Structure 1
Amino acid sequence: MTAALMGTLAWADRTDGRLSADEKIALARNLASLRAEMVFDEARYRLGLLRPAKIELDTLTPPDTKLVRDADEFARSVYPDVLWAHCLRTYYFGAQVAAFDGIKFDREVFYAAAICHDAGINEGVAGPVAACCFAHSGGRLTCETLSGKGHGESAVRVGDAISTHMNLVVPPDQYPSESTLVAVGATCDIFGTYVRRIELTTLAATVERAPRTGLFEAFGPFLTQPHLEDSRTALLVQMGAFDSNGTHPIESVLAS
């Protein structure tokens, strides 16, 4: 169903993760859409029109299954605690926004994709980011690893969600909801998008469980090195997507 869609494993296998001219325009629109969404959510919040419900984090605990355990073990093996914590927040933020927006998803598949979505940052196992799109290489590596542990079609769904997350916006009417939510959770943690859709004490509990300390220091070297020409990451860096503009929205909300 999603084979021809930008970001999927099949798309990246065919294109080597390089964007066409039309796809570059689509990615630029996605970035603009994220920024507009933040402004719109902030306006709705200030008008009292956006009031998410409190969620107890323990109600979002992923199921204790072999897929979840295998994914967690793999993630722990390929990046340090600071990136593992980012991936854990990606899961919780995605699940919290899903609750607000009424998005149904497979918690097992979503957790596996969220916790492994930055596997491609580890060039020692996924290959140099100057030669391959890190989202594609990480998705492919995770898919192969989980397939080797007997997870079959679930491994493909996990790999697709990882490969697709660098689209930034992954519409749930076009992609599986698990792919949508990896992008939602990751962009929430990196850019602060959707943070107003998370109730304040729930947000604080998430950050307490998975602290954000050292996140951008960990990503700094990765973002400043050469990336595959015409890849999504290369284009986003060129557009200044990751440039800091003062206090991060999550910290601003927590301090309010």
Structure 2
Amino acid sequence: MLNEVAGIKIPDSILAKDARDILREHGNDLLWNHSNRAFLFGAIAGKKANKKYDLELLYISALFHDLGLTKEYSSPDLRFEVDGANAARSFLQQYHVPDESIRLVWDAVALHTTVGIAEHKEFEVSLLNSGVSLDVIGKGFEQFPADLREEIVKAFPRNNFKQDIIPAFYEGFKHKPETTFGNMNEDVIKHYRTEYKNKNFCECILHSPWKN
């Protein structure tokens, strides 16, 4: 494991190392490289903003943010983001991490795909969302320093990431498509099942048990 990439020191506490081991054991190279890139992209954004934040909590959040896609941590009925957040909470509780820090990590993981909300939460939550968004859809690509971007990708290669991440998402929640109602993950389900129809919000209102 590298000690530093693009001017960002990789956390090396026992907590950080154990979190790495969990992702390494239950994830794959795709999730490993993506999670580390997301952390570094977010950390550099935080450094540029010159605002105080907890680098280790951002790192833990990044390592757990897609763990809900894995067989070990995927539930039968919760959003994959919530599965990852719950896994992170259980992990941190074993180390007697303060409740406020645990809540922060839970929010960062659970909200990392929630556009329009995550960026207005605590800085660690916002930074994870920023790092993930840059890596997955290229948000902020042109504004991110090219030399740092290239150094990060060299350390944690993309290796056909654009082609592989969509099926990885699908495999992670194809058994519970109903959890994609009201969020961007429904697009992944429809990418593979064009006929799929989730609930409709307006129909939920009109067919509720209320008389008027």
* TM-score above 0.5, yes or no: yes
Cα 1:124–1:64 change in 2 (3 A) is closer
1:232 aligned partner: 183
Cα 1:72–1:223 change in 2 (3 A) is closer
Deviation readout 1:4-45 (Å, 9 max, x if unpaired): xxxxxxxxxxxxxxxxxxxxxxxxxxxxxxxxxxxxxxxxxx
> Aligned partners of 1:63, 1:219: CA distance in 2, in Å?
26
Deviation readout 1:185-217 (Å, 9 max, x if unpaired): 001000000122221111110100000003234
State the secondary structure of the residue aligned to 1:197: coil
Task: Flag the structure with larger Rg.
Answer: 2
Percent identity, aligned pairs only? 23
> Aligned partners of 2:168, 2:141: CA distance in 1, in Å?
25
1:120 aligned partner: 68
> Aligned partners of 1:176, 1:80: CA distance in 2, in Å?
29
Deviation readout 1:122-176 (Å, 9 max, x if unpaired): 1332224xx210001111112112212332423332222100101134455x411
Deviation readout 1:88-116 (Å, 9 max, x if unpaired): 00011111222334443210100110122
Q: Does 1:166 align with 2:110?
A: no
Cα 1:193–1:215 change in 2 (3 A) is same
- Match of residue 175, structure 1, among 121, 127, 148: 121
Q: Is the 8 A contact 2:26 2:70 kept in 1?
A: yes
2:19 aligned partner: 71
> Aligned partners of 1:175, 1:163: CA distance in 2, in Å?
12
Q: Does 1:209 align with 2:150?
A: no
Q: Does 1:155 align with 2:102?
A: yes
Q: Could you tell me which amino acid in structure 1 is paired with residue 151 of structure 2?
A: A
State the secondary structure of the residue aligned to 2:142: helix
1:86 aligned partner: 34
C-alpha deviation, 1:181, in angstroms: 0.8
Larger RCO (CA under 8 A, 6+ residues apart) = 1
1:144 aligned partner: 90
> Aligned partners of 1:179, 1:211: CA distance in 2, in Å?
24
Q: Give the length in aligned residue pairs.
A: 182
State the secondary structure of the residue aligned to 1:232: coil
TM-score norm. by structure 1 comes to 0.63
Cα 1:169–1:69 change in 2 (3 A) is farther
Q: Is the 8 A contact 1:67 1:151 kept in 2?
A: no
Q: Is the 8 A contact 1:92 1:185 kept in 2?
A: yes
TM-score norm. by structure 2 comes to 0.75
